Structure 1
Amino acid sequence: MTGLQGKGAFVAGSDKPERSTVRVGFMPLTDCASLVMASVLGLDEKYGIRIVLSREQSWSGMRDRLVRGELDCAQLLYAMVYAVELGVGTAQKSMALLMNLNQNGQAITLSRALAARGAVDGAGLAALMANEARRFTFAHTFPTGNHALWLYYWLAAAGIEPMSACHVATVPPNQMAANLAAGHMDGFCAGEPWGERAVREGVGVTVATSQQVWPDHPGKALAACADFAQRHPNTCRALVCAVLEAGRWIDASAANRETASEAIASPAFVNVQRELIRERMLGCYNDGLGHRWHDPHRLRFYGDGAATFPYLSDAMWFMTQHRRWGLLAYDPDYRAVAERVNRLDLYREAAAATNTPLPSTVTRSSRLIDGRTWNGRDPALYAASFAASSHA
């Protein structure tokens, strides 16, 4: 703990973590990197805890283990946190969102067969579907999760009604490319490295990144059940401190991103070849159609604090999309729910301890792929502004 005195580190006295070992669930995805590196680099020990990582096999399984208390915290789909809080598709459980883990870095992939027929973007897909008698099948990773909402938003922006014009399936992320190759679906939305795998194996093409849908969108969240956060605030704060430092380390240089790619590619974590993670981790994209670019909105884990801050407007957006697609049957008090779930108090204390910059406001303004601006000012009006066919 040398050198931490006077810098806000919570390591002793009344601020000592209530629990020295923290069981944290994660999914084998590129964006588990800051959780993994917090442990690998020993940053957890710096703040008086030991992170015990638990590799999970499905989002629903990890959610259920968290709710049952078998995990203390978990890397959850941001939208899933709010589905649990509101009892959407599952039993209601009060939740605590401790921080955002990352921004950007997901992808929408279509089969190479569709791309060969002109479906290389939303407009091309819409034109193809208009002349087909069958309903196309698209997959996401969880019904109330981020990937479902990115997929629906992208389809709708192209004039495709997801709920009536498509079959939608839930598939584990690491099975996406195989199912696409087998012809079980026409496309999918998932986190990396599974979009990259589809491109490298020649079975799919990247027609959109999630950052094209919403530049610098929120990604996975570090979450706990509200009762755990209530009983263990110092433990949660220490965990956020460690993960903030890990995110800052990853974002600090290309060399660090290379090292993180190698670490998380190992069998204990994502269990893939390093090159499958490395390229898009560095922001180097190949869409499988001959187009290569360096994405200015690549996956990021810190972004001078902008990528980790739990903006209330981010939380409210996911609830508006649950409402839009009929997953949520009523308009909640969006702001009040976001203020209750997003633990800004713990995050701000962790930010002070790690010298992480804080934004000037708890909401932000963003322009999405369909030209709409989201700023969190009137969530109910925003949710209702979408076409009636997509709003329950």
Structure 2
Amino acid sequence: MTGMAGGGYVAGSDKPEIETLRLGFMPLTDCASLVMASVLGLDQKYGIRIVLSREQSWSGMRDRLARGELDCAQLLYAMVYAVQQGIGSLRMDMAVLMNLNQNGQSITLSRKLAGRGAVDGASLAALVAAEPRRFTFAHTFPTGNHALWLYYWLAAAGIDPLADANLATVPPSQMAPSLAAGHVDGFCAGEPWGARAVREGVGVTVATSQQVWPDHPGKALAATAAFVRKNPNTCRALVAAVLEAGRWIDASAANRDAAAEAIASPAFVNVPRELIRERMLGSYEDGLGRRWHDRHRLRFYGDGAATFPWLSDGMWFMTQHRRWGLLQYDPDYRAVAARVNRIALYREAAELSGTPLPSSDTRSSILIDGSVWDGRDPAAYAASFAARKSA
């Protein structure tokens, strides 16, 4: 490669094709590395300028990306694969440039349900079995991460989300108000919205997403395949800048605190800093008196493990789309993931930013129900859940 020295852009064939990038984000704690790449001037170090655009909904951001009104975006990882497969939208070839974070989402139930004894999956299942009405649980998008964490957690407790509950789509920032108004009985969303429900006394945290899958993938830095094809150097520079930002955030509690202060501002998440800070540092309270420090807290770098676009991560989301009937057939899971996740481009950006690389493009994980996911036989893995859905 030419044009980069010591991580910074100099000149040559690797010059970014465009210097100004319109980058969409949602007001969530896990937008932090995108914001800090701009705030710390890391984008300029690599010869680009990030112009951040605060979006109001996942579907709106997806559509703006498709229309070319945004160049790249913080998207729900699972949503990227839904667009790639044409689930719930027109099919479009997509690209995952990197994973932006791991962990840090939560499942919240109303204080009313908690008062009736629903404080975990097993006690909620007992209440669901005894209740004549169906409870309503909200997620942020039907094909997105939060829907899949919610479904997986419910199913692991013996609750079939499709047969035993009503499901609703609610914007992240409206989760706590919807819970307070009684429109929903629980929800799964990114922070700080679970923390807000606890802080306002309307909800209790009954599970974190890292309990469902420790060190699970979070949001993706995504673009259309056409944009990446036309602007590979620009995309490489963007990934390098965001990698450096994630490393800076994870480097110390002081940096996390500074990042929390930055993203709490009205331009980004627009909440009090403390609402972001505590769970960003791994300090949790459930609203029922229990406090703990989560060793699988939200992380933005993890020595490169949190940002690498693992093929097995992309395949897992497709298996869950298949499990819940969103995908009507078994695709060539690995081939699709290899097209979407731009590992070669990521490796180049990792080299520029000094980010360690794993020895494999897949990894193995144990989820909440004891199932092992390693990407070896995704079709069999997806089929194995038929009995578990209504177990």
Structure 2 letter corresponding to 1:252:
A
Question: Which residue of structure 2 aligns with residue 172 of structure 1?
Answer: 171
Q: Quick one: distance in 2 between partners of 1:10 and 1:351?
A: 14
Aligned to 1:347: 346
- TM-score by length of structure 1 reads 0.98
Cα distance in 2 for partners of 1:235, 1:11 equals 14
**Alignment check: 8 A CA contact 2:103 2:216 kept:** yes
Shift of 1:267: 0.3
Counterpart residue number, 1:102? 101
Q: Is the 8 A contact 1:34 1:243 kept in 2?
A: yes
Query: 8 Å contact 2:4–2:10 — kept in the other structure?
Result: no
State the match for 2:222 in structure 1.
Answer: 223
How big is the shift at 1:389?
7.9
Q: How does 1:296-311 map to 2 (within 5 A)?
A: 296-311=295-310
Q: Deviations over 1:319-378 (max 9, x none)?
A: 000000000000000000000000001100000001100001000000000000000000
Amino acid at match of 1:70: E
Amino-acid identity (%):
81
Structure 1: give runs of 5+ residues left out of the alignment: none
CA apart distance, 1:7? 3.4
CA distance in 1, matches of 2:25, 2:158: 35
Distance in 2, matches of 1:360 and 1:201, equals 45
2:232 aligns to what?
233
- Distance in 1 (CA, whole Å) between partners of 2:276 and 2:129 is 36
Q: Which residue number in structure 2 is paired with residue 81 of structure 1?
A: 80
1:297 is aligned with what amino acid?
A: H
Do the aligned partners of 1:10 and 1:234 also contact (CA within 8 Å) in 2?
no
| Cα distance between partner residues in 2 of 1:96 and 1:138 | 30
1:239-289 Cα deviation digits (max 9, x unpaired)? 000000000000000000000000000000000010110100100000011
Matches for 1:244-263 after TM superposition, within 5 Å: 244-263=243-262
Deviation, 1:388, is: 5.0
Helix, strand or coil: the match of 2:13? helix
Residue aligning to 1:360: 359
Alpha-carbon distance between aligned partners in 1 of 2:249 and 2:159, rounded to the nearest angstrom? 38
Unaligned segments of structure 2, at least 5 residues: none
Distance in structure 2 (CA, Å) of the matches to 1:186 and 1:336: 39
Which residue is 2:30 aligned to? Answer: 31
Is the Cα contact below 8 Å between 2:7 and 2:46 reproduced in 1?
no
Alignment-derived partner of residue 156 in structure 2: 157
- TM-aligned CA deviation for residue 117 of structure 1: 1.0
- Count of residue pairs brought into register by the alignment: 388
Match of 1:123 in 2: 122
Q: What amino acid is aligned across from residue 367 of structure 1 in structure 2?
A: I
Structure-1 separation of matches of 2:10 and 2:219: 27
- Asked whether 1:312 is paired with 2:314, we answer no
Q: Which amino acid aligns with 2:289?
A: G
Partners of 1:319 and 1:387 in 2: CA distance: 15
Give the residue type in structure 2 aligned to 1:230: R
The separation in 2 between residues aligned to 1:145 and 1:121, in whole angstroms, is 23
Instruction: Answer whether contact 1:37 1:260 (CA < 8 A) is retained.
Output: yes
Mapped to 2, the partners of 1:377 and 1:300 lie a distance apart of: 26
**2:40 aligned with 1:60:** no
Looking at structure 2, the residues matched to 352 and 102 of structure 1 have their Cα atoms a distance apart, in angstroms, of 19
Two-structure CA RMSD over aligned residues (Å): 1.1
One-letter code aligned to 2:380:
L
**1:21: how far off?**
0.1
